[in-house]
Structure 1
């Protein structure tokens, strides 16, 4: 791919991803949309630069999923997706920033959750970092800041809106989830190889859907894979 084509793609990406926050407002929140093995009810609570999706039920002790939004998005944009994730019986600590690539805001959200909800997460909860698009790429950076146990990157952009600063530790489980209809942050030619290059324990999943599937309902195939790995690494 030539530099000219890359520049054109970058311009298209910036223009389209800026519409995530606007498009997200059109989607109603549907608690319970996660389906499957969901067993917890969820309340949504506000912190400083963070929103928490707090589970109730299950065994009463929960691990933490830190979430970073795509460019231009907020935690409200992903409200149904994150509600469905928390219904799997994990506490979701979602940064409210629309630029989550550095991982700083996700780090803050997770640390707030550890303090604020210490009675239900315990003294040493497992932590997975996650996010969509810019937030997906940024989930690697957040994992390094938090010394996280795992990374669940949803359609991660690792080129235009953020870059992975350095590889995650060799014992960190990583999955990058891509979809065949995604023209903004596709697996090839760069994003999957960047994920793989910065991971030791790497898995890749591919489903159907466009780049905007995660802002609709429980996220389609991308959301289904996300919840599968939440269950694998944070619940079971």
Structure 2
């Protein structure tokens, strides 16, 4: 893992007051290959390649005063209904900062409810966006729908708080800041599945930094079922550009795994994050991935 020196420390501290913030991420590597067994026919590389592209659903963006919605329509099934992804922006960012990314997530046939704020650390605004989506788009939401909370930087930290407020099924946290802009107020329920994504070249708080308390410790302490993955050679702002680079592809993989309304697709992608290691499982043998950590809850969870 990378470390930083005193000069970088000073630069980081001066940057914290200006924008999107992430404190350190440290990992214990799972090492190389993906093992045998399991019965999946998709390798991790197959799944990653598939998730680089947008999905089949067309998307309508609807902006309201407090929330913006990315509403999917399935051209193969006009009456299709969907699960919900709640989103929180990073400090200094707006929903528009992530608009291309959020549209690409919704194209995976998921209803995205984004809070219109750059201060989403409490989780309240994400909660409001999800509840607004449930009300406005009741005809588009599955009766037994799942909710995942998500966000970047402060919004990533806020996604844990929103999950507790909503009794959500899952969290997909992107470079979650849980130290400077918000904290995780309470541990998640023991059945909440968490995917935490980080980036190796995040200069705001490099993984393994000796100067800051690790965000991963906070995420790990709050989670019972957790997979963490770090993308190689990307920084804190890669996710804000276009469809988000490799970390954006990992994000789409996580969304497919957790929220696809196609059970076969969900099962295929769940194999990248959950269950015993197979050829599908994310590991550092993939060139896009620098570090991975899966806890016992992740290994013992059914794909």
What's the TM-score bracket when you normalise by the shorter of the two chains? Answer: 0.7 to 0.9
Structure 2 segments unaligned to the other structure (5+ residues): 22-50, 261-265, 267-303
The structure that has the greater radius of gyration is 2
Measured against aligned partners, the alpha-carbon deviations of 1:64-93 in whole angstroms (never above 9, x if no partner) come to: 000000001110010001000000000000
Picking from 31, 38, 50, the partner of 2:67 is: 50
Asked if structure 1 preserves the Cα contact closer than 8 Å seen for 2:55 and 2:107, the reply is yes
Query: Quick check: 1:13 aligned with 2:33?
Result: no
Larger relative contact order (C-alpha < 8 A, sep ≥ 6)? 2
Matched, 1:207 2:231: yes
Unpaired runs of 5+ in structure 1?
19-33
Using structure 1 for the length normalisation, give the TM-score. 0.86
Q: Given the alignment, which residue of 83, 86, 94 partners 1:66?
A: 86
Aligned-residue offset at 1:193: 1.4
Higher relative helix content = 1
Q: CA deviation at 1:16?
A: 4.3
Task: Give the one of 214, 218, 223 matched to 2:243.
Answer: 218
How many angstroms apart in 1 are the aligned matches of 2:10 and 2:145? 42
Q: 1:46: how far off? A: 1.8
**Taking structure 1 as reference, are residues 37 and 99 closer, same or farther at Cα in structure 2, changes over 3 Å only?**
closer
Q: How many pairs are equivalent?
A: 218
Give the C-alpha shift of residue 169 in structure 1. 0.5
Which secondary structure does the structure 2 equivalent of 1:202 belong to? Answer: strand
For 2:208, what is the secondary structure of its paired residue? helix
TM-score, scaled to structure 2? 0.68
Q: Secondary structure at the match of 2:145?
A: coil
Distance of aligned partners of 1:221 and 1:63 in 2 relative to their CA distance in 1, 3 Å threshold:
same
**SS where residue 44 of structure 1 aligns?**
strand
SS at match of 2:202: coil
1:12 Cα deviation from its structure 2 partner: 1.9
Aligned to 2:104: 84
Q: 2:131 is paired with a residue of what secondary structure?
A: helix
Distance in 2, matches of 1:108 and 1:10, equals: 32
Any idea what the Cα deviations from partners look like across 1:144-191, whole Å, max 9, x if unmatched?
A: 000000000001111111111111110000011000011224443511
Matches within 5 A, 1:76-225: 76-188=96-208, 190-208=214-232, 209-225=234-250
Rounded Cα–Cα distance in structure 2 between residues aligned with 1:207 and 1:180: 6
Q: Write the distance in 2 (CA, Å) between the matches of 1:142 and 1:161.
A: 15
Name the stretch that deviates more: 9-18 or 93-102: 9-18
